[in-house]
Amino acid sequence: MADSDDADDETVADPASELAASVEATPDDIPAEDPSPEDPAPDNEGEVLFDEPGGSWWVVAIGPVLIGAVLAMEIAGPGQVHWLVLTIFAVILIGFSVVQVHAARTHVSVRLTETTLRQGTRTLPLKDIKTIYPPNNSAEHQDWESARALGELPAVPRRRKGVGLRLTNGTLTQAWARDVDRFRAELTEAHQAVQMGLPPRGASQDD
């Protein structure tokens, strides 16, 4: 009986050993991760050709100016100065302005260099652009005009106009800017240079 028990013990698999064996795998056994939808930006992006920050910090000064005007009237008037109320309003106005400007500069900014296009928080290498569509001057609707906008926003932001793009992976999308005519011209010229294999103008100087 003792011999049979020993034999049974030898045939029982060790759960820890099975777990370790399942975890250990050669690199060929590990499936490759899906590629990122965004290629990393080139190390040398070149000169900045177009830049729209999306929001200006001067808006933050509106709150202090308004509070200062009210404070001046209260000091000059016969009544008492409401320091607590003015302080609360100042904090609210300045805080709201800072949040609004920061959000605009983060999500509605445009920056075009010789090799990349940044729309909001997304940076797109120009080599990933296949086609830049001309402006639609006809009454007929073009497919790119209803395509999703580049960046994290689903549509072209307010007071901006779109530029139709076809990416190398087949995606139809819209780049966008406030000064769309100048943006389109700079984007087209930079894209042509990338397609021709021309290096950024600052590359030779860095070397």
Q: Is the pLDDT of residue 200 over 80?
A: yes
**Across residues 149-163, what is the average pLDDT?**
91
Task: Give the pLDDT confidence of 103-120 residue by residue, as tens digits.
Answer: 888 889 999 999 999 999
- The span from the CA of 176 to the CA of 47, in Å, is 20
Provide DSSP, 161-192.
EEEEEEETTS-EEEEEESSHHHHHHHHHHHHH
DSSP state letter for 198? P
Structure-block tokens of residue 89: 């309003």
- The span from the CA of 178 to the CA of 173, in Å, is 17
* pTM for this model (two decimals): 0.67
More reliable by pLDDT, 145 or 27: 145
DSSP state letter for 51? E
**Across residues 65-90, what is the average pLDDT?**
86
* CB 79 within 8 Å of CB 72: no
Query: Which of 38-42, 89-93, 121-125, 188-192 is least confident?
Result: 38-42
- The span from the CA of 173 to the CA of 54, in Å, is 20
Task: Give the pLDDT confidence of 16-52 residue by residue, as tens digits.
Answer: 444 344 434 333 343 333 333 455 555 678 899 999 9
Structure-block tokens of residue 70: 């009210």
pLDDT of residue 57: 81
From residue 131, give the alpha-carbon distance in Å to each of 38, 143, 183, 187: 17, 13, 15, 11
**Nearest CA-CA partner of 124 in 108, 109, 136, 111:** 111
Q: Where are the domains of the chain?
A: 115-200
Q: Is the pLDDT of residue 56 over 90?
A: no
Q: Is the pLDDT of residue 156 over 70?
A: yes
3-state helix, strand, coil in the chain (%, to 5): 45, 15, 40
